Amino acid sequence: MKINYPFTLALLCFAIVCTGQNSIFDVNFEFQAYPTGLIPGLRLEKGFNEKNAASIRLGYQLIDHRDLGKHDDETGTGYGFTLGYKRFLKEGFRGLHLGVRNDVWSNKINWEHNKFAPIEPTSGTTKIIVLQPTLEAGWTFIPAKKCIITPTLAFGYEINVKTEGEPTGEGVILLAGLNLGYRFYQ
């Protein structure tokens, strides 16, 4: 049986939006940076109970592993999505939160090897599917009634689960992020 990813993602978004009464629904622009890349995205977050929230993000990744991967130079891009859960320490979906997230990325990496060696360099392209589980901590500020600002810090591991072509970089990842958004009260 083949999984219909767009339908599954749409169904999940619908379920997140429809669950919970007297809660919040946040629409955020999210930006994350890590030592070898940048990730802008759109994050939807739905609160439930008084301290818990579930989220989904659609994002685009700009990758520049430089020589930190398996080759002398690795650059690329990719699309992906994130499913997440977080728990606030205070009621009202503000202040400190701790959470878990898992990203799935479909990346295309252009690489070059022996770039600086006296022998002929080699190059190629690798397509990879990446799983990226992370732990996240953040602080949600509400400077105006419906405006939210959330800086975050996440730590996890990047795992190449499917590789078409030469192996490319993977491993420990540290991400600094910032969410700017609008909060709907339900």
pLDDT-wise least confident of 15-24, 33-42, 53-62: 15-24
Residue 183, helix vs strand vs coil: strand
pLDDT tier at 40 (50, 70, 90 boundaries)?
Answer: very high
User: How high is the pLDDT of residue 111?
Assistant: 83
What digits encode the pLDDT tens for the residues 55-65? Answer: 999 999 998 87
d(CA 111, CA 125): 6
Mean pLDDT score, 9-30: 71
Q: What is the pLDDT of residue 117?
A: 67
Q: Which of 49-53, 80-84, 95-99, 154-158 has the lowest mean pLDDT?
A: 49-53
Comparing 21 with 115, the larger pLDDT belongs to 115
- Mean pLDDT for 73-92 is 93
108, burial (CB in 10 Å: exposed 0-12, middle 13-18, buried 19+) = middle
- Residues forming beta bridges with residue 162, ordered by sequence position: 129
Give mean pLDDT, residues 97-126. Answer: 86
For 2, other C-beta atoms within 10 Å of its C-beta total: 4
Q: How confident is the model at residue 3 (pLDDT cuts 50, 70, 90)?
A: low
With vertex at residue 29, the alpha carbon angle to CA 23 and CA 32, rounded to the nearest 5 degrees, is 115
Comparing 68 with 120, the larger pLDDT belongs to: 120
Provide the pLDDT confidence category of residue 135 given band limits of 50, 70 and 90.
very high
Q: How many helices (H) and strands (E) does the chain have?
A: 1, 8
pLDDT over 90 (residue 45): yes
Residue 24 CB coordination number (10 Å)? 19
User: With contact defined as beta carbons under 8 Å apart, do 75 and 46 qualify?
Assistant: no
Reply yes or no on whether the pLDDT at 4 is more than 70. no
Q: Is the pLDDT reported for residue 21 higher than 60? A: no
In the chain, the domains with their CATH numbers are 5-185 (2.40.160.20)
Tell me the pLDDT tens digit for each residue of 138-171: 999 999 889 999 999 999 999 999 999 888 888 8
